[in-house]
Amino acid sequence: MDQAAGSAQDAQRVPVCYRHPDRETGVHCTRCERPICPECMVSASVGFQCPECVRTGSGTGHSPAASRPRTVAGGTVTADPRLVTKVLIGLNLAFFLVQSAVGDSFTDRFDLIGQAYVPLLGSVQGIAHGQSYRLLTAMFLHGSYIHILFNMLSLWWIGGPLEAALGRARYIALYFVSGLAGSALSYLLAAPNQPSLGASGAIFGLFGATAVLMRRLNYDMRPVIALLVINLIFTFSWSGIAWQAHIGGLVAGLVCGYAMVHAPRRHRNLIQYGACVLFLVAVVVLTLLRTAQLT
């Protein structure tokens, strides 16, 4: 009896999502009061509701047909909340297969490089020579099996839950803005003949946004902070890692993530996408500045 009572008390102290028993949560449905994780949260006029309450129109004052389920950040709730993450992983794997099949000549055409003579291509290449597309294409290239394995596992573990919490459109915006911010900072600060590639900039942006989201939902911050610190230690202690891309992506993820989960309902879209646009403007400005320096 005492042991059973103790177990019940432990369960009350650490509630878990009623639909996903393996996920601890501190958020409850404002209608039925069942604990719900970010994947199950639907934004309501006050707090969050569970999918069942939203589906039946409970507590909204509207019919089920008029009810529009929303994520924590105001995005549309979808049947597959990890679809974009799966597509991104598929694109990265497809590019890596092409790299493996074609060889270094393909990688040299699309990795991030400021300005350098590339022997395999027989000419001077780089963003400073009008190849600004490298800021984007470098985000989908990887240098080894370990490199892509580590990044894709991180993308699945971090990106999936974040996509469910933000919604597809906001998640896509966050991913590409973070990746481009990382590419731009790398272009600005790294040596012009130093090539770099990888999805790490975008993934660090997802790390930053996840930290903001967990803080917003009053989750235990220690796991994500510990994971972020470990990644930063690797970033600055191992040679050959483009720390500029990691820091640029992380800053973009923190700022845009904060805008997405803290934006007031009335001006939500303006603030959320406005923050992303401001970072894209910053990417353009940094790129033009560095190009002017090199040319």
Active centre residues (catalytic): 200, 246
| 3-class SS string, the chain | CHHHHHHHHHHHHCCECCCCCCCECCCECCCCCCECCCCCCEECCCCEECHHHHHCCCCCCCCCCCCCCECCCCCECCCCCCHHHHHHHHHHHHHHHHHHHHCHHHHHHHCECCCEEECCCCEEECHHHCCCCHHHHHHHCCCCHHHHHHHHHHHHHHHHHHHHHHCHHHHHHHHHHHHHHHHHHHHHHCCCCCCECCCHHHHHHHHHHHHHHHHHCCCCCHHHHHHHHHHHHHHHHCCCCCHHHHHHHHHHHHHHHHHHHHCCHHHHHHHHHHHHHHHHHHHHHHHHHHHHHHC
